[in-house]
């Protein structure tokens, strides 16, 4: 137990054995200490040198021979004092670097989180999330023909829930038959701008909401992806605003 307790002071197993052997023998040549500690002479020399540097052993020259002995056990308190001092220094340095570490951590939080969805059920799950994220407005690039084809019943239910949550919507849309009457509606909290399909073919829908971007493929193998990133979402909003201004020239009247 004594050996295990001494290891708590920062000494390793062999250092403890050498220290206790020297403590028991008093001044003794290195070979005696090595034998008592149960280690070879070369190792003992190396360990004793370390203990001398730490102030736990001393040496004398007598009759042209070198003898070593353990210092008073009270000298172990120096190790404790050094540990306390080192801990205080580490604590001080930690306080200095913590703001930098938190800054790096905050940047890492901004790394995009990506989730994938497959099939019609996956796309419906994506759409339902649009209304669960705290927000004031949803922006979107959509193909009305695809939406009416794949979400004929869900579209009305989705719109009603959006209105109940007082979430506005702005969309840039394509439609084979041209602009849709009533697409823009104050009552439905929706603004819409038509762009010609022959010039801008939408085969996927893109929605921007909160700090997320949802992209859904409605052709061939259905599926979608939601990217969660404040930076990317803000970038897509800027692109939407640019497209929104550009779509003005295609509006009637």
Low-confidence ranges of the chain (pLDDT < 70): 105-110, 134, 153-155, 253
- For 161-205, the pLDDT digits (tens) are 888 889 899 999 998 888 888 888 898 899 999 999 888 888 889
Tokens 């203990």 sit on residue = 51
Determine the Cα–Cα distance for residues 75 and 81; give it in Å rounded to an integer. 10
Model pLDDT, residue 3: 79
The predicted model scores a pTM of 0.56
- The closest of 228, 225, 188, 192 to 210, measured between CA atoms, is 228
What is the predicted pLDDT for the residue at 10? Answer: 77
* Angle at CA of residue 30, ends 25 and 33, nearest 5°: 35
Residue with the two structure tokens 């000298």:
75
What b/e sequence results for 110-142 when a residue is b if at least 16 CB atoms lie within 10 Å of its CB, and e otherwise? eeeeeeebeeeebbeebbebbeeeebeebbbbb
What residues are paired with 205 via a beta bridge? 216
In the chain the first and final C-alpha atoms are separated, in Å, by 93
Where are the chain's structural domains? 2-71, 113-250
Please give the structure tokens belonging to residue 22: 């020297």
For domain 113-250, the question of CATH label 3.30.1360.120 is answered with no
pLDDT at position 139 = 94
Architecture in CATH for domain 2-71? Orthogonal Bundle (1.10)
Tell me how far apart the alpha carbons of residues 173 and 171 are, in angstroms, rounded to a whole number: 6
Q: Is beta strand 223-228 parallel, antiparallel or unpaired with respect to 190-194?
A: unpaired
Residue from 145, 197, 147, 138 nearest 166 by CA: 138
């Amino acid at each position: 137990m004594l050996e295990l307790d001494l290891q708590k002071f920062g000494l390793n197993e062999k250092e403890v054995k050498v220290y206790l052997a020297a403590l028991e023998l008093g001044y003794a040549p290195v070979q005696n200490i090595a034998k008592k500690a149960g280690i070879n002479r070369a190792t003992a020399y190396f360990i004793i040198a370390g203990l001398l540097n730490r102030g736990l052993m001393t040496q004398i020259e007598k009759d042209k021979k070198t003898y070593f002995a353990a210092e008073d056990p009270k000298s172990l308190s120096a190790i404790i004092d050094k540990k306390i001092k080192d801990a205080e220094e580490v604590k001080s340095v930690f306080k200095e670097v913590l703001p930098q570490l938190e800054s790096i951590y905050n940047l890492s939080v901004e790394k995009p989180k990506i989730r994938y969805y497959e099939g019609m059920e996956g796309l419906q799950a994506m759409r339902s999330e649009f209304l669960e994220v705290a927000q004031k407005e949803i922006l979107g690039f959509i193909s009305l023909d695809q939406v009416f084809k794949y979400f004929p019943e869900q579209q009305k239910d989705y719109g009603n829930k959006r209105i109940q949550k007082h979430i506005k919507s702005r969309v840039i849309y394509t439609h084979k038959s041209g602009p849709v009457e009533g697409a823009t509606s104050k009552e439905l909290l929706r603004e819409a701008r038509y762009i010609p399909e022959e010039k801008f073919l939408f085969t996927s829908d893109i929605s921007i909401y909160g700090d997320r971007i949802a992209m859904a493929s409605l052709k061939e193998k259905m599926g979608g992806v939601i990217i969660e990133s404040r930076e990317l979402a803000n970038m897509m909003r800027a692109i939407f605003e640019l497209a929104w201004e550009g779509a003005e020239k295609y509006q009637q009247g």
